[in-house]
Amino acid sequence: MKKFLLSSVIILVLSGITFTVSSQDIALSQANKSGIYTKDQKMAVTAFAENLAGDTLHIKVFENNTQLLYQKTLIIGKDSLRIFEGTFKEPCSIIIETSAQGETASIGMLVEPEKLKPGAKCPRDFDVYWNSLKKSLNSLPVEIKTAAVLGTESDKGYSCEDIEINCLGPKPVHGYFAKPEKTSPGTLPIVLLVHAAGVKGSWCRSEPSNALKYAKMGALCFDLNAHGMLNDEPESYYTNLENGELKTYWLQGITNRDSVYFRGMYLRLIRTIDFLTKQPEWDGKRILVIGESQGGGQALVAAGLDQRVSAVVAIVPAMCDWFGSLAGRMGGWPQPFESDASKKEMLSALPYFDAANILKHSGAIIFAEIGLIDMTCPATSVYAALNQARCQKIIYTVPYRPHQQPQGALSNTWQEDYYKPRDLFIQNYLK
């Protein structure tokens, strides 16, 4: 494993990363490539839209994602336009949105994000609650069901199984487990893959190919189904779940800590790690959890709830700082505190499942990607959570990143500047 410890927090800004974000005809730029500013440091954003000269550029400036500071319009000329200047004394996010003739472009900034704190305090009995749940989980006799998955010619030398493991709560663990077939005991790292929100989309289902990808990199890999639903079922099965039992699952039970939907999801994380660490091939040291959005939130939670987790790749993570609105900010997905449920009851239930509280016990290296124009998992919510972790953090702040991956010309920049560094981190960690 390559050593990564250089400092407790690393903000990554590569020389190849441009400070300009462009749509087809609108280019926005700021002088600070990372988008991170100190208190009272001047921000300045310029726009260039020569092809739209003579048209009107509509500009909106938001603080903390949702608070409209002001809006204005400017006539586009042949030269660049200074569309925003400002300084801020408190930690916050700033998002500039522009539009003209159907073209849009946005860019984001953060002020002293390392000083952001969660919107609500951690419950006093937080550790007691989770220690009790872990004890109950450990006392539950393990029952495992396996079914071999037929591979392709290229999968020779690797095994893959459809796994079911009993767990506390209404649903068992379901996922695919793959590994090299001929390996000496105590030699392989673990990779746990966790999925983004949803029920029937390709991004939220476990697949043998996902697990086999990392097995071929020399790891024990489990592609975990977030909902405990069956693998490889007809499309109608997932559609019925999405429209029925799992409809708006993220808001289920949010007024009772023993009924919060994420309780079962988090327990399945621990149960899966228990299974993986009992494999004789595990090297006893490395457990890497990788996920995006809801999966990124699960990755952070796994690191906080299970100290065996040694590293995390959390991409625009959800489940962070759910009570950000109490501090005048937008909370992280799924924004449960912004729902119509009883605020008092949610304050009694949800803090036990907020990554901002769970991360306080993490000792894992955290590799995090944060989109500065993300309106689903706001940058402030992610930082409020990461700031609670007392471990090494490698942070990519992406001024032009929304929650979804970019399309068009930006996708090429994305591939070079973000996918490659992330893949390099993973590859080096698994060496």
Helices 294-305, 261-277: axis angle to 10 degrees equals 60
**Rounded to the nearest 5°, which phi and psi values hold at 414?**
-60, -50
- The number of beta carbons lying within 10 Å of the beta carbon of residue 361 is 18
234-275 pLDDT, tens digit per residue, is 999 999 999 999 999 999 999 999 999 999 999 999 999 999
pLDDT(408) > 90: no
Residue 157's pLDDT band (cuts 50, 70, 90): very high
pLDDT(6) > 70: no
| Of 250, 152, 276, 243, nearest in space to 197 by CA | 250
Question: Across the chain, what does the average pLDDT equal?
Answer: 93
**Percent of the chain, pLDDT > 70?**
93
The structure tokens listed for 157 are 């030398």
The pLDDT score that the predictor gives to residue 15 is 32
321-363 pLDDT, tens digit per residue, is 999 999 999 999 999 999 999 999 999 999 999 999 999 999 9
Q: What is the mean pLDDT of residues 81-102?
A: 96
Question: Whole-angstrom Cα distance, residue 188 to residue 215?
Answer: 10
Q: What is the mean pLDDT of residues 141-155?
A: 92
pTM exceeding the 0.85 threshold for the entire prediction: yes
CA distances, 198 to each of 128, 143, 222, 307 (Å): 31, 27, 19, 28
291-308 pLDDT, tens digit per residue, is 999 999 999 999 999 999
Flag the least confident range among 2-6, 136-140, 196-200, 398-402. 2-6
**Sequential DSSP letters for 323-392:** TGGGGTSPPPTT-GGGSSS-HHHHHHHGGGG-HHHHGGG--SEEEEEEETT-SSS-HHHHHHHHTT--S-
The pLDDT score that the predictor gives to residue 72 is 96
Classify strands 282-292 and 311-315 as parallel, antiparallel or unpaired: parallel
Residue 2's pLDDT band (cuts 50, 70, 90): very low
Q: Is 179 left (phi over 0), alpha (psi -120 to 50) or beta?
A: beta
The structure tokens listed for 207 are 């697949």
The pLDDT score that the predictor gives to residue 9 is 61
Flag the least confident range among 67-81, 299-313, 409-423. 409-423
16-56 pLDDT, tens digit per residue, is 333 556 667 899 999 888 899 999 999 999 999 999 999 99
The pLDDT score that the predictor gives to residue 34 is 87
CB 304 within 8 A of CB 362: yes
Question: Whole-angstrom Cα distance, residue 145 to residue 411?
Answer: 41
The pLDDT score that the predictor gives to residue 10 is 60
pLDDT: which is higher, 230 or 2: 230
| Of 167, 180, 248, nearest in space to 215 by CA | 180
All structural domains of the chain: 18-114 (2.60.40.1930), 126-430 (3.40.50.1820)
Cα-Cα-Cα-Cα torsion 87, 17, 11, 116, nearest 10 degrees, comes to 40
The pLDDT score that the predictor gives to residue 18 is 38
pLDDT(14) > 50: no
